[in-house]
Amino acid sequence: MLVLGIESSCDETGLALVRDGVVVDAILASQADVHALFGGVVPELASREHLRFMGPLYDALMERQGLSAADLDCVAVARGPGLLGCLLVGAAFAKGLCLGSGCRLLGVDHLLAHLLVAGLEQELTFPCIGLLVSGGHTNLYKLDDPVTFVQLGRTLDDAAGEAFDKCAKVLGLPYPGGRTLDALARLGHADPGLFPRPYLHHDNFDFSFSGLKTAVSLYASSAGLTPAAGTAPFKSPEEASPLLCDCCASFNLAVVETLLARTARALDACPECRSLIVAGGVAANTLLRERMKELMAERGVSLHMPAPARCTDNAVMIAYTGWLWASHGLYHDLSLEPVPRGRPVPRDACHAASCNSS
Ligand code: KG4
Ligand code: ZN
């Protein structure tokens, strides 16, 4: 079965081909440079960029594989959660392909796709716990299989990636800040007592990162780490001051220890889960990867983390999840609607026999 995956939920336009669970090819156009000028993603600009790139990227991908729409069995598109205008571009393109070629359509939950793509590197074992840490979400799940899962917890305010990006901005680091902050943290020494491990005293699986962000802002202004107007822009981690690196290391440690504590609690509550998936953009974080490996080795839990390049948004995760779901016989019809951020993605995929997708 050949599945084309389309990702356009935020600021990456991606297309990928997966045949029988194996990646054939993928193509990605990042808009990071466009949005860096504004210090964050501008939704209207992002939709226009998707519109500009989608057709040419599709042509380039299919041409270099010598394929046409008639070869596709299924088009899987990220249906949300994400920026609505951006999702509409991907959904309209996917529906057009299905209408033109007669292949099946499947709307993929972008968050689930972040987790399931870990299965490309190493077979996933179920039931398992999933920690999704991205720019827009920080969620804990229990997954019984690739299509059956429940959400255990979520962030009540900022997502972990958002906290990285906002703290990076306060410290004068370029957007998106997570990766740069990670690089500076590796050069610094963390003070474990400098910042709080927020919300851990609550007996549940939720997160809250906005207080930690405020603590970093207050510390940064008292320590003179907030860049004054007219200061030269950040150049490279090697030129950063030791104090700035130490602050980044302390913040990084606070986020990582918070994520570790909550994940350990979820594993305690679900002893039948002997494996853990950690995914999403923040799963590229060096310290998080190291500490998760240590903790899971201690607990005898098998750990699945996508390679760092597959942690941030990409279309391989959509194509692969699409293939998994299509293998369970699940599809959508052409009335599929994108789901904006803040709304749950409905579980409305239907079995092929009852689904008139073309
Ligand atoms: O999953 P993703 O690409 O997009 C969303 O679906 O949100 O995640 C992007 C987030 C950004 O907040 C970015 O700063 C963060 O992931 N990120 C990192 C690292 N690389 C990306 N955060 C911490 N350390 C990193 N190495
Ligand atoms: Zn994402």
pLDDT digits (tens, 9 = 90+) for 1-23: 999 999 999 999 999 999 999 99
The residue whose CB lies within 8 Å of the most ligand 1 atoms, and thus the one to mutate among 131, 312, 313, 318, is: 312
Six-digit token pair at 319? 């194509």
Single-letter residue type at 294: E
Element (H, E) at 243: helix 242-269
pLDDT above 70 for 33: yes
Q: Is 313 in the pocket of ligand 1 (CB under 6 A)?
A: yes
Among 31-35, 131-135, 315-319, which is the least confidently predicted range? 31-35
Cβ-count burial 123-133 (b if 16+ within 10 Å, e if not): ebeeebbbbbb
Distance, in Å, from the CA atom of 68 to the CA atom of 346, rounded to the nearest integer, reads 31
Q: Hey, what are 11's tokens?
A: 């600021």
> What is the 37 CA–ligand 2 centroid distance (Å)?
21
Name the band, by pLDDT with cuts 50, 70 and 90, for residue 31.
confident
Asked if 73 and 357 count as a contact pair (C-beta separation under 8 A), the reply is no
Nearest CA to ligand 1 atom 10: 135
Distance (Å, rounded) from C-alpha 130 to C-alpha 143? 7
Q: Which residues pair with 142 in a beta bridge?
A: 129, 150
- What's the angle, vertex CA 22, arms to CA 16 and CA 27, rounded to 5? 20
Instruction: Flag whether pLDDT at 76 surpasses 60.
Output: yes
Tens digits of residue pLDDT in 83-125: 999 999 999 999 999 999 999 999 999 999 999 999 999 999 9
Q: How far is the CA of 179 from the centre of ligand 1 (A)?
A: 7
Would you call 276 helix, strand, or coil by DSSP?
A: strand
In the block, tokens 């939704």 appear at: 43
Count Cβ atoms within 10 A of the Cβ of residue 278 and give its class: 0-12 exposed, 13-18 middle, 19 or more buried: buried
pTM of the model: 0.93
Evaluate: CB of 321 within 6 angstroms of ligand 1. no
Residue 47 CA to ligand 2 centre (angstroms):
16
pLDDT tier at 176, thresholds 50, 70, 90 = confident
- The answer to whether residue 356 scores a pLDDT higher than 70 is no
Distance (Å, whole) CA 11 – CA 27: 14
Letter for the amino acid at 235?
K
